[in-house]
A and B are shown apart, each in its own frame.
Chain A
Amino acid sequence: MPEQLYNAIFIGSIYALFAIGFALVFSVLDILNLAHPAVFMLGAFTALFCMATLGLPAGAAVVIAFVATGLFGILLDRVAFAPLRRRDAPPLSAMISSIAVAAIIVRLVELRYGTDFLSYPPESLPSLPFQVGESRLDGLRLVIIGVAFAFMVGLTYLVRGTRLGRELRALAENPRAARLLGVDVERAIAITFFISSGLGGIAGVLLGFAYNSIYPQMGTLYELKAFTVMVVGGMGSLPGAVLGAFILGLGEVASIEFLPSEFRDAFAFGLLFLILVIRPRGLLGHKAVDRV
């Protein structure tokens, strides 16, 4: 039992880190950034590059992955979203633009690393088994849970307690008003993308470490799960994303117990559908239904 709970919390943490990045961009810019899963993957592979090719330790690789994916996020905005913003394009155009970038990135990584599963260099990842009652648990996952929580707390503080956070919230409410109030909109957006992509990249590295298995298409599965997370929690709501993530994590682990394994993924999508039909705004989100 504790092992399942441990796994549920672990997987929930990963989903949360991943989904928060999605939710952040959606709440500030109303865009569904479908390049986010590619960034997730990029984080994992950046760490691989650092550790396998440059021989750096895991800790350094994590930091570099965060910064690299964060910067990539800024580049992503410049190339794919900023031009659309300039002509006031509807959010669906931005979504398609992000699909394009994702396709390019994933394919380039595939060409460099192949499409198969890869592992981090042996001995590079700490192995810290510990006992809880009867179960032997992997301490690496505990570290990951800790790191994930640290980031989530940090982000919460940023959004609620800092001036930047206020600017982001203003931007989310009303971009025009924010600009009139003196918010440097482009700077705030750049920072949003840095944080969002950085978090996505971190999620990728940590997941890669935990399973010690990465591949270029790894973002797709998490992307689909992230939709469920965001819809359940409420699109654009950061606490909603965290809540949705843990609900999904617990639900998946529980469903493995009671359903054949083929249906584990079905749980996520079934839940997605159910929520969209019953309460599209999710637990903590805004109205999602046409009034007329």
Chain B
Amino acid sequence: MICNLDYIPLHLHTNDQPIIDQFYIGEKLFYRCKPENLTKPYDNISLYDISHNRDFNNAQTFTENDVFYNIIEGDLREKYDDLNFISFHIKNLSKGKHTYIKHLAIEDLTATIILKHAPVPCMYPHSVLEILINGVVINNENYKTELGKKNQKFSTLRNLIRQELSSIVQTGFIDDSFEIEEITDL
């Protein structure tokens, strides 16, 4: 993957570097977002295109400022100066797991949230919190038909996903040892 944007620092060029499936305890992630996504209690967070940068536990090389580079070819803007970022770190991954994976379910609907390293030519540390519904990866194009349906079951599933994501933003860390405690009696 060759980067053709000359303003992108060399350490961000992917070239022949591999995908690193393993995420590390203590590793930081930087999520570029609109200022309104930083507003408590964080429930209006987007449920698709949740992309961010990882730092590979190498804070000297991969910094939070990298997320502001515009990597869209043909777009004159080099940096997103009007956006903010939040950072969170990986606090705990269950034994034997290489990344954060969370499974949620409502009746016959299953949702999986998975943290993946997804390098692109001009942003090697690019990663995503990918959401799959019954195995289908959710993106901007299919969101309405696969997850955004207007009915109670899908609404409940979206709220479950939001609870996971808003917890990460609120706490500033990923810790997969906490499952949602479902209560039926008060």
Q: Does A associate with B in a complex?
A: no
* Chain A interfacial positions (CB closer than 8 Å to B): none
